[in-house]
Chains A and B, each alone.
Chain A
Amino acid sequence: MVLFEVFINGIILGGMYGLIALGLNLQYGVARILNLSYGEFFVGGAFTAFFTIMLWQYNPLLSLFISMPIAFAMNWLIYQYLMTPLIRRAPDQDALDADVVLVTFGLFFVFQGLALVYWSGDLRGYTFLSTPVNFLGATLAMNRLLALLGACLIAAVLFVILRRTRFGAALRAITIDPVAAGLVGIDVRRYSALAFAAGGALAAASGMLVSTFISFSATTGVAYTLKALIVVIMAGVGRVTGTLAAGVLLGVVEALGGYLIDPALTIAINFGLFMLILLLRPTGLFTRA
């Protein structure tokens, strides 16, 4: 019975991992920009939710109507005005990656610095839907369940867009081969900018959902960037819908491992699994060999 609950908890935890990684995979998989400032938008979403409930006393879910459009616009601008010049001048992907790492790392510093100045370094947290829910005898927290549902919803919407619309077909074409996509008349830059911006908006959304159960501060962003990156690499770059599955796998293994071996090893198990998968399938779980 306890084992079952641990298992379910692992799924919920994994849903959170998948959630924070979805946006990054959209950014990195489609737009091919490894955005190291990704976590700052996560933090932005969390803070917006915090102010919405603590300062203005509204439902924190409403904060999504503020944080997602802002994050979308900011990421669109970043792509258009900071990334496009780099893409134009880069001779190859390696050179572009080096430039992108430096610029987005710089942006990470700038955003984190601004957050520290305006929001201070205090630890923040609030209580929202921390009510227990009984699921087949396992006790779950409503807010964590909400994050899992959010992850499923976002993944489903992305799946439908990518598989069932012309827009999605164009994005998939870009993911597979941007040059060829340009040759068949797809406006690669415009679509990439939209995908990048959407990824940023998802970062804000995941920040809001996670902030309902994990406390945070102006400096927590980078930890989520790295966590998201690990899930993206596990799933395979560009495998947007596989991201959620990879996250869930990571969560379940972490929870079961922690329970069966030693809870002090959960993070080690996490990284161990990730590295094992990389060694066995060097380009991710959900890529065709």
Chain B
Amino acid sequence: MLDALRNARAAAALIVIAAIALAFVPLFSSGYVMSVFILLFANVALATAWSFFSGATRYISLATAAFFGIGIYVLAIAHVYVPVPVALIAAAIIGFLVALVVGLSTLRLRGVYFVVFTFGLTELIHQVLNWWEVKINHTVSRFIFTDVSNIAIYETLLVAALITIVGSWYVNQIRLGYALRAIGEDETVARHAGINTTRVKVVCFALSASVMAFVGAVLALRYPYVDASIAFNSTWSFQVLIAALLGGGGRAWGPAIGAIPLVLLSEYLAGTFPHHFSIALGLCFVVIVYFLPGGLTRLVLRLYHSWLVPQLKKAEVL
């Protein structure tokens, strides 16, 4: 118990220090380095939000791109009429509401049926939105011209990523978190234990979707031009899924541990082997699965317990 408390304190201290250090990065870095960090934070937030629902309940969702795209579109439409911060919040709220409706109708599907359904949902929204734009607005694209600086985008996403991680950690500590995990273990048992499984699932699915919509809306500030195929690009869904799987489940910081190396690895491979990028990335996946079972979380925990803790004990820190 004491150990756990000490660990939690150490983790909290680490997060605070990292956050403060990261907040000052824009003062020293070029636009490119900031672009990488922006993508990094976006991926961390998305993967954490994804894992918050899908990791715990084992409902593997490919609808990330759907909510992300809704965020982009809300911003693209709203930024003309209202200030950008209002548009961002509207995106999160609309993402939440759409997910409520979707969740109520679909969360009785399980396993691969749910996976493919959520993929289909993304495509359906994409197609219908596109059709509506063509029929009603006689265009399929929207321009986004704002004077939001890269630094503001950077800091917003940093905060969003941190709130997502801390929020996800917090929920894991309270009743809602136990209920979520109980559903992941065995839904029938959870229901018999008196958990209102539908309510828990739908609320958490919607919370996770609101983060995705928000991140989409913030990133959209960097797109001068959007259309439905950009907004609802399903590579986002896959990328987030893979980051979360790579990180491994069970911990709030797991998806972040997966997303960070994935973004950096892609960046490194794209720079070093631009024409063999996808081959190298693919081989990395294969290697990770065979040599890092359980994801990076397990590796980090193992290193922590088998190496760092003895070292610290030896140094009489603990």
Direct contact, A vs B (beta carbon within 8 Å): yes
Chain A residues in contact with chain B, CB under 8 A? 34, 82, 85-86, 89, 94, 97-99, 101-103, 105-114, 116-117, 226, 229-230, 233, 237, 262, 264-265, 267-268, 271-272, 274-275, 278-279, 282-283
In addition to A101-B245, A105-B285, 18 A-B residue pairs with Cβ atoms within 8 Å of each other are A82-B286, A99-B289, A102-B286, A102-B289, A106-B286, A111-B282, A113-B282, A116-B278, A117-B275, A117-B279, A237-B112, A271-B123, A275-B120, A278-B109, A279-B105, A279-B106, A279-B109, A282-B113
Chain B residues 100 to 150 lying within 8 A of chain A, measured CB to CB, are: 105-106, 108-110, 112-113, 116-117, 119-121, 123-124, 127-128, 131, 134-135
CA of A274 to CA of B290 in the docked complex: distance in angstroms? 35
Among B121, B123, B238, chain A packs the most CB atoms within 10 A around the CB of B123
Most B CB within 10 A of own CB, among A34, A111, A233:
A233
Given the complex of chains A and B, what is the CA–CA distance between A97 and B282 in angstroms? 17
Choose one: B108, B119, B293; the contact of A282 (CB below 8 Å): B108
Complex CA–CA separation, A233 to B114 (angstroms): 10
Known: A101-B241, A271-B127. A283 touches B279 (CB 8 A): no
Residues of A within 8 A of B135 (CB): 264
Q: Let me know if B277 is at the binding interface, CB within 8 A.
A: yes
Interface residues of chain B: helix, strand, loop or mixed (majority): helix
Q: Are A230 and B105 in contact (CB under 8 A)?
A: no
With known contacts A34-B112, A101-B241, A113–B286 Cβ distance under 8 A: no
Q: Sorted from nearest, which 10 A-B pairs have the closest CB atoms?
A: A109-B282, A106-B285, A113-B279, A268-B127, A110-B282, A113-B278, A271-B124, A106-B282, A106-B286, A109-B278
- Whether A117 and B276, one on each chain, are in contact in the complex, defined by CB atoms closer than 8 angstroms, is yes
The answer to whether B117 and A275 touch across the interface, beta carbons within 8 angstroms, is yes
Q: How large is the interface on B (under 10, 10 to 19, 20 to 34, 35 or more residues)?
A: 35 or more
- The answer on a CB contact under 8 Å between A102 and B119 is no
The residue of chain B having its C-beta at the shortest distance from the C-beta of A112 within the complex is B278
Cβ B278 vs Cβ A110 within 8 A = yes
| Sampled A-B contacts (19; CB under 8 Å) | A89-B293, A99-B293, A101-B245, A102-B286, A102-B288, A103-B289, A105-B282, A105-B285, A107-B282, A109-B285, A113-B279, A114-B279, A116-B278, A264-B131, A265-B128, A272-B124, A274-B120, A275-B124, A279-B106
B116 touches A229 (CB 8 A): yes
Residues of B9-62 whose CB lies within 8 A of A: 58, 60
Contact B285 A103 (CB under 8 A): yes
Alpha-carbon distance A279/B127, docked complex (angstroms) = 20
User: How does the 8 Å CB contact mask read for B243-287 relative to A, with 1 for contact and 0 for none?
Assistant: 001100000000000000000000000000001111111111110
| B242 contacts partner chain A, Cβ-Cβ < 8 Å | yes
Summarize A's interface: helix, strand, loop or mixed: helix
Bound CA–CA A76/B123 (angstroms): 33
Residue numbers in A under 8 Å from B108 (CB-CB): 282
Q: Find the A residue at minimum CB distance from B58.
A: A94
CB-CB under 8 A from A265, the residues of chain B are 127-128, 131
**Are A102 and B245 in touch, CB under 8 angstroms?**
yes
- Whether A106 pairs with B284 at a CB distance below 8 angstroms is yes
- Indicate if the CB atoms of B121 and A105 lie closer than 8 Å: no
Q: In whole angstroms, what is the CA distance A85 to B23 when docked?
A: 44
A106→B238 CA distance, assembly (Å): 12
* CB-CB under 8 A for A262 and B242, given A102-B288, A279-B106: no
CB neighbours (8 Å) of A264 from chain B are 131, 134-135
Nearest A residue (CB) for B249: A98
- List chain A residues, Cβ under 8 A from B278: 109-110, 112-113, 116
Q: Are A275 and B121 in contact (CB under 8 A)?
A: yes
Contacts of B134 in A (CB 8 A): 264
Closest to B128 in A: A268
**Cα distance, A106 to B58, chains bound together (Å):** 22
Given contacts A106-B286, A109-B278, contact A267 B113 (CB under 8 A): no
Contacts of B276 in A (CB 8 A): 113, 117
Q: Which of A86, A89, A106 has the most CB of B within 10 A?
A: A106
When distances are taken between beta carbons in the complex, the residues of chain A under 8 Å from B58 are 94
Bound Cα distance A267, B125 (Å): 11
Contact A97/B112 with A103-B286, A275-B121 known, Cβ cut-off 8 Å = yes
Q: How far is the CB of A20 from chain B (nearest CB, A)?
A: 15
B137 to chain A minimum Cβ distance, whole angstroms, is 14
Q: Which of A85, A105, A110, A262 contacts B279 (CB 8 A)?
A: A110
CB distance from B12 to the nearest CB of A (A): 30
Report the bound CA distance from A279 to B241 in whole Å. Answer: 23
- B113 in contact with A233 (CB, 8 Å): yes
A117 CA / B116 CA spacing, docked (Å): 31
| Cβ-defined contact, B290 with A85, below 8 A | yes
A113 x B285 contact (CB < 8 A): no
Least CB distance from A68 to B in Å reads: 24
**Cα–Cα distance between A237 and B110 once the two chains are bound (Å):** 13
- Residue of B whose beta carbon sits closest to that of A275: B120
Can you name the residue of chain B whose Cβ is closest to the Cβ of A233?
B116
Question: Which of B60, B112, B245 lies at the interface centre, i.e. has the most chain A CB atoms within 10 A of its CB?
Answer: B112
Residues of chain B within 8 A of A114, CB atoms compared = 279
**Cα of A112 to Cα of B281 in the assembled complex, Å:** 11
Q: How far is it, in angstroms, between the C-alpha of A82 and the C-alpha of B60 when the chains are bound?
A: 23
In B185-223, the 8 Å CB interface with A consists of none
Closest chain A CB from B253 CB (angstroms): 19
Q: How far is the CA of A262 from the CA of B134 in the complex (A)?
A: 12
| Chain B residues whose CB sits within 8 angstroms of the CB of A86 once the complex forms | 289
